[in-house]
Structure 1
Amino acid sequence: IFKQNDEITKSITYARRIQSAVMPSHELLGSIIGKYFLLFRPRDIVSGDFYWMSERDGIVLVAASDCTGHGVPGAFMSMMGVSFLNDIVNVVGIIRPDLILDELRQKIKANFRQTHGETEARDGMDIAICAFNFREKKLQFAGAYNPMYLVRKGQLTEYKGDKMPVGAHLKEVKFSLHEIDLERGDNIYIFSDGYVDQFGGDEGKKFMAKPFKDLLMSVYGKSMPEQQQVLEDTLDKWQAALDQVDDILVIGICID
């Protein structure tokens, strides 16, 4: 059994290398986005959370996604998500976030042969996707469950995602688009629910959204690496000896 476990662990570790290879490197993110941080902590060796980036026609697209499940099933789903997004943006040429999510939903449904029936497994993902025009300081955002936070001069504005996943859903409508004029010094955050859902503290409760928002407002004005350090330290202190419950992903971007 030990030998078998070792073999499985080795192959999953190799799968992590493949998963890492399909996600953008720090060098690439830095060269295209500029000031940013990426806090990424898979719960297992491989992750159901993924981040993605593409650049097309002067628009930089960045996504943070949380797939059904974690570990190996979540990782398979995340690889499909990356592949579909690359196809939608780089081949089909769609760059508007809401239309990307509409198309992504069709692909996931077609590949999992999903219908509106309630009995089937709900394969899919929650995702936040931003399209930046850094030159004109404009941002478009669309989300499936996942929101986007904008911190401007220390105040936080939440742009909510639609209350449906990317996948089959009973009340299926088109995704909505938020358009935002950016200012220098704005901080943009997209993330999965792993950070806020982490158990910890004196009473072993979830971290929750309100303290997370307060934390992001409190780090305003710090550099992106400093912000990441505060988020990591806060999480470590909160979690202490408890197990990590989910994959954790937070992306921060500072508008220059």
Structure 2
Amino acid sequence: MPLQKYLIDNLGDLSILFEGIMNSIHDAVFLISIDDNNNFFYEYVNEAYKKQTGIKDIDQVIGKTPVEVFDKKTGGLQVSKYQECFKTKKELNYQESINFKEDDKTWLTTLFPIVKNDKVVKIIGASKDISKRKEVESALVQSEKFSNTIMSAIPDIIVRLNRDGKFLDINAPDELMLYIAEENAIGKNISETLPREVVDRVCYSMEEAIATGKMQRTEYKLAILNGEERYFEARLVPTNNDEVISIIRDITENKENQEKINQYTAEVELKNLELENLYNKLDEELQKAKQIHERILPESLPELEQVSFGAHHYPAERLGGDFYDVMELDEKIVFYLSDVTGHSLEGAMMSVFVKNTIQNYVNLVEEKEITPEKVLKYLSDQFGKENYPDDYFICIFVAVLDLNTLELTYSGVGFQTPPLLVIDEKLKELKSQGLPISKAYPADIIDFGESSCTLTEGATLLIYTDGLTEQENMGKVYDERLRSVFYDYCYLSPEFIVEFLNEDFRRFNGGSLQGNDDITFLVMQINTLNTL
């Protein structure tokens, strides 16, 4: 199908995008797979995981169990957490201490279970290194040097400015993140050290912060000491002595990620437009398929002295592959009902194939050679010569009525719901089971064997597809009442039987004749001849 092909063709791009997103996340992300014995193995880790753990050789992790990656004690603790997530099927949050690079780190870990068919098949984990935060928390309790401890723990650049814009203090976790070295900036005005565009932004925000007493925020791009151009966010907070504290954060990765998201969003919008165009084309195709299907259905059914027919076809919202036909010969009547795989144009073309193939066979052979078994074998042979996929199949019931003897010969494949025959006031089922016509298996294993019975006046036959019997409403299927309704009205003419069945189905189906699948059935009746 076009949509499947698109997804397959673009699978590589989506994989690259997924990898890029995972590697842009600062937290250590890992994927746990679970085998049939409920053992846990590391299947994937992102770049942050390798960087933060110091594991350079990925083979030390991928395909390994927690005990193999860590020591027995630490690995055992990991396994116990994975087991808890696996058993509860719920998100699990916890703190843990793990030694990496001879350094104990504290991690805030979250486990997300991936559940399929009510079973956890994988676990996604995300661990955030909260060691710094834990150090700060400890320092706040143990030390009186509150301000200095906070300053040393914050990864952002913190700058103290007076009202005139003079640098009073600078604290940078990495001096390379500065535009100018700290010793060259202290005591100088920002107008002497920073580009004009940045100065204007900072001065305006600083004046607003002092005037309003509220934090102000601004963003700018700046080339730092190592030569890189980075994006920064400055949050300026006024103090009580006409000074401003500016907390400056590097937001380059956020900007880059946002650009990626914007680009991805634009691509998605473009693909949505393409899908909309595709849906419009599919709708056109569906209309064409409906027109084809309507043209090949019989406009009328034969009117004979001995036999009467009635039929009904109501397509589903999504056109299916139901079809029927009745062919009058010199001494025989050939009629059939089929249900082919495929929807829209594919299903319609399959129905055309069935109609043309059977019609060609009837036209090519002598009338005495026409039997249901031979018709089905010919249809199967021709189907095998066509270039249809293996998942295409044909379910069909074929019957031949001898007008002289009223002997009905029939054969069916693929239908699991047998045709119903009322004869001599008794309701019988006609055999119609077995494998459908398909390339998925050898044709010689399909049973085309036919059966026969002699009909009497008033005998009535109902052939139908599974769309009728499998229609469900309020937990019940129509099959449960079809037999009784047909038996109750089988003495009427086929035309009235069709009307009564439709009315009963409408009441069952909440007032609608449309089902989830095509609703199709064919009624044949031996007329009662009045004799003097």
Give the C-alpha shift of residue 97 in structure 1.
Answer: 0.3
**2:431 aligned partner:** 160
**1:254 aligned partner:** 525
- The answer to whether the aligner puts 1:211 opposite 2:486 as a matched pair is no
C-alpha contact 2:334 2:398 (8 A) present in aligned 1: yes
Query: Per the alignment, in what secondary structure is the counterpart of residue 520 of structure 2?
Result: strand
Higher relative CO (Cα under 8 Å, sequence separation at least 6) belongs to 1
1:110-121 matches, cutoff 5 A? 110-112=385-387, 121=390
Aligned partner (choices 380, 385, 393) of residue 105 of structure 1: 380
> What do residues 35-88 of structure 1 show as CA deviations (whole Å, max 9, x unaligned)?
221111111464400002223342110000111133332222111111111122
C-alpha contact 2:467 2:518 (8 A) present in aligned 1: yes
**2:491 aligned partner:** 221
Query: Per the alignment, in what secondary structure is the counterpart of residue 361 of structure 2?
Result: helix
| Unmatched 5+ stretches in structure 2 | 1-272, 528-532
**1:23 aligned partner:** 297
> What do residues 85-106 of structure 1 show as CA deviations (whole Å, max 9, x unaligned)?
1122212455100111111111
- Counterpart CA distance in 1 for 2:478 and 2:305 is 32
Name the TM-score, length of structure 1 as normaliser: 0.84
1:141-180 matches, cutoff 5 A? 141-146=410-415, 147-168=418-439, 169=441, 172-180=445-453
**1:131 aligned partner:** 400
C-alpha contact 2:465 2:520 (8 A) present in aligned 1: yes
- Counterpart CA distance in 2 for 1:11 and 1:122 is 21
Query: Per the alignment, in what secondary structure is the counterpart of residue 517 of structure 2?
Result: coil
- Counterpart CA distance in 2 for 1:108 and 1:216 is 34
Aligned residues: 246
- Counterpart CA distance in 2 for 1:221 and 1:73 is 39
Query: Per the alignment, in what secondary structure is the counterpart of residue 122 of structure 1?
Result: coil
| Unmatched 5+ stretches in structure 1 | 114-119
- The answer to whether the aligner puts 1:51 opposite 2:324 as a matched pair is yes
**1:117 aligned partner:** none
Quick one: which amino acid aligns to residue 106 of structure 1? Answer: D
C-alpha contact 2:419 2:431 (8 A) present in aligned 1: yes
Worse-superposed segment, 167-176 or 225-234: 167-176
C-alpha contact 1:162 1:175 (8 A) present in aligned 2: no
C-alpha contact 2:460 2:524 (8 A) present in aligned 1: yes
C-alpha contact 1:48 1:66 (8 A) present in aligned 2: yes
Greater Rg by CA: 2
C-alpha contact 1:48 1:69 (8 A) present in aligned 2: yes
* Cα gap change, 1:99 to 1:82, in 2 (>3 Å): same
Name the TM-score, length of structure 2 as normaliser: 0.43
- Counterpart CA distance in 2 for 1:14 and 1:69 is 15
Quick one: which amino acid aligns to residue 160 of structure 1? Answer: K
Give the C-alpha shift of residue 16 in structure 1.
Answer: 2.6
Query: Per the alignment, in what secondary structure is the counterpart of residue 20 of structure 1?
Result: helix
The structure 1 segments of at least 4 consecutive aligned residues displaced by more than 6 Å after TM superposition are 1-4
Query: Per the alignment, in what secondary structure is the counterpart of residue 438 of structure 2?
Result: coil
C-alpha contact 2:336 2:398 (8 A) present in aligned 1: yes
- Counterpart CA distance in 2 for 1:187 and 1:62 is 14
Aligned partner (choices 180, 191, 195) of residue 468 of structure 2: 195
C-alpha contact 1:96 1:140 (8 A) present in aligned 2: yes
Quick one: which amino acid aligns to residue 167 of structure 1? Answer: S
Aligned partner (choices 85, 90, 105) of residue 358 of structure 2: 85
> What do residues 105-149 of structure 1 show as CA deviations (whole Å, max 9, x unaligned)?
111122136xxxxxx632121111110112321111110133332
C-alpha contact 1:132 1:138 (8 A) present in aligned 2: yes
* Cα gap change, 1:3 to 1:162, in 2 (>3 Å): closer
**2:501 aligned partner:** 231
- Counterpart CA distance in 2 for 1:44 and 1:90 is 35
* Cα gap change, 1:69 to 1:6, in 2 (>3 Å): closer
* Cα gap change, 1:98 to 1:207, in 2 (>3 Å): same
Cα root mean square deviation, aligned: 2.6
Query: Per the alignment, in what secondary structure is the counterpart of residue 81 of structure 1?
Result: helix
Quick one: which amino acid aligns to residue 472 of structure 2? Answer: F
Worse-superposed segment, 176-185 or 131-140: 131-140
- Counterpart CA distance in 1 for 2:297 and 2:304 is 15
Quick one: which amino acid aligns to residue 164 of structure 1? Answer: L
C-alpha contact 1:24 1:52 (8 A) present in aligned 2: yes
Query: Per the alignment, in what secondary structure is the counterpart of residue 303 of structure 2?
Result: helix
- Counterpart CA distance in 2 for 1:164 and 1:42 is 24
**1:63 aligned partner:** 336
